[in-house]
Amino acid sequence: MGALVLVGWAFNFEALIHLFPTLVVMNPTTALGLVLMGCCFFILNRRTAQGLKPHNLWTRSLAVAVTVLGLLRFVDYVAGLDLRVDHLLFANKLSGDSAYPPSEMAPNTALNFLLCGLGLLLFDLEARNGFYLAHGVILIAAWVALLAIIGYTYHVLLFYRLGAGLPMALDTAVGFALFCAAFMTAQPNRGVVAILTSRTTGGAMARRLLPMAVLIPWGLGAILLVSEQAGYFGKEFAVSIFAVASIILFTFSLWWNARLLHQVDIERLGAEDKLRQASSNLQRSNTDLQQFAYLASHDLFEPLRMVTSYMELLEHRYTGKLDPQGREFITFAIDGARRMEALIHDLLEYSRVDIRGRSFEPADCEQVLQAALDNLKVAIEESRAVVTHSPLPTVLGDRVQLTQLFQNLIRNALKFRGRHEAQVQLHAERRDREWLFVVRDNGIGIDPKDFSRIFVIFQRLHTRQEFAGTGMGLAICKKIVERHGGRIWVESVPGQGSSFFFTLPVKV
């Protein structure tokens, strides 16, 4: 719109200067301001879509230019100065002797340039306070523009004119209204617009009722005003019709929306009942499965110990009477029984995470880590490992399971340390309502394609001859973290160590 008006002023196209049949026309400097706003906003949105920071030198320069333009003209009007900012372009066509209609930047236009320029300067997806302040000033600019449009609709000069200056042109008001609408919807998942775009019942109601709340009284009032001016009825009758028609139309709109939302709620309640039943069945099956795993693992220990004991007794009593192949068979049997015992023990620990879990309470991670280090004291000394940590916070959780979590991650670092002496570093930092923990080591590392496998039960990346274990340690860690409402993942480069990340809730 601004570019069209500038072309009209430059080449004397009357039709482009009068985009709307208004009493006043858009000032060329106002048109330039709209072009600057549009260019700045276009670049901001494009950079945001590309994942870049919204502002660069160009956007800040354009936003500052718009802000200064509005500020100088508004100060000019308030202080009575003669800065003539609105005569920067085509000054000879704006003089009193010119054949062109009078045109100057209206005070409310200058105010809107100031507000929109500030909004553009504050447009930043990462700054929360800047986001709300930007939307606040843009909302004020939107109301100024909407008031001017309504003023033109009802011929109320007070709505589109501020003080003794020329009023805001209609095409200028429409341009500001379009810009403010675009600015508010550029980030549809935040601020006021987030409710309109949400899939909730409130969002659906807002999308249906908001247009009616604006268009019904606006359109009805315009129709009645034209009818009254044509002499079809008097003011009292027009006001009465407006009141009655508004009641009827809004009542119908509310009933129509309530009917639609009622049907949606009925479907939602039915879906919630089915989901609740499915969740109950799943929880019962999960509980039965955990209980079965616990009991089966527990009951398997006794006969397995008996097999191991008798095989060891057989090996001890008949050492000199068995040939090498017989002794090898016994060794294989004992080794298999011991591995089975370790596997059952880890499976029992895995099932106990939910079944035997304690209630959550504030747990000092400094003490939790110390308990884990005490349990691993012999392994740390044998491997001559160095374990360091930054100050650790107090979190909300199960102290016993958190000790097991730290213990498993550190034991993992000791086991897969490679040729170098193990160095393990623990660090924690707060992010919003959770703590992010990092356990880093200088071990053999993990191939990225195996990142998801290592947290699955019984998944091993190495043979038993290379590294002992059952492949349950990280699976237990994952289950403990998930029971605490967190998540766990790994980042690693083969040969350059691994970093295990997990989150825990902040102490309430």
Write the CATH number of the domain with boundaries 361-505.
Answer: 3.30.565.10
Q: Taking the mean position of all CA atoms in its chain, how far away is CA 363?
A: 29
Residue 344's pLDDT is what?
Answer: 65
Residue with the two structure tokens 């309109």: 196
Q: Long-range contact list for 306-310, CB < 8 A, 24+ apart?
A: 307/333, 307/337, 308/334, 308/337, 308/338, 308/341
What's 176-204 look like in SS3?
HHHHHHHHHHCCCCCCCHHHHHCCCHHHH
Q: How far apart are the first and last CA of the chain?
A: 54
Q: Which two tokens stand for residue 436?
A: 């992010």
Residue 147's pLDDT is what?
Answer: 92
The answer to whether 500 touches 488, Cβ cutoff 8 Å, is yes
Residue count of the chain, please give it: 508
DSSP secondary structure of 196-256? HHSSSHHHHHHHHHHHHHHHHHHHHHHHHHHHHHTTSS-HHHHHHHHHHHHHHHHHHHHHH
Helix, strand or coil for residue 251?
A: helix
All residues at 6 or more sequence positions from 433 whose CB lies less than 8 Å from its CB, including other chains:
505, 506
421: which DSSP letter?
Answer: P
Tens of pLDDT, residue by residue, the chain (508 residues): 999 999 998 988 888 887 766 678 899 999 999 999 999 999 988 888 887 788 889 999 999 999 999 999 988 888 878 788 888 888 888 765 656 667 888 999 999 999 999 999 988 655 556 678 888 899 999 999 999 999 888 888 888 888 777 889 999 999 999 999 999 888 787 777 888 888 777 788 888 888 888 888 888 888 888 888 888 888 788 888 888 888 888 888 888 888 887 887 888 888 888 888 888 777 776 666 666 666 665 666 677 777 778 787 877 777 777 778 887 888 888 777 776 776 666 666 666 666 555 778 888 999 999 988 988 888 888 888 899 999 999 888 888 888 888 988 998 888 887 777 888 999 998 887 788 999 998 888 888 887 777 887 655 555 555 555 556 778 888 888 988 889 889 888 888 888 999 998 887 5
User: What number of other Cβ atoms are within 10 A of residue 322's Cβ?
Assistant: 15
Q: Which two tokens stand for residue 471?
A: 């492949």
Is the full-model pTM beyond 0.75? no
Q: Where are the domains of the chain?
A: 2-197, 225-356, 361-505
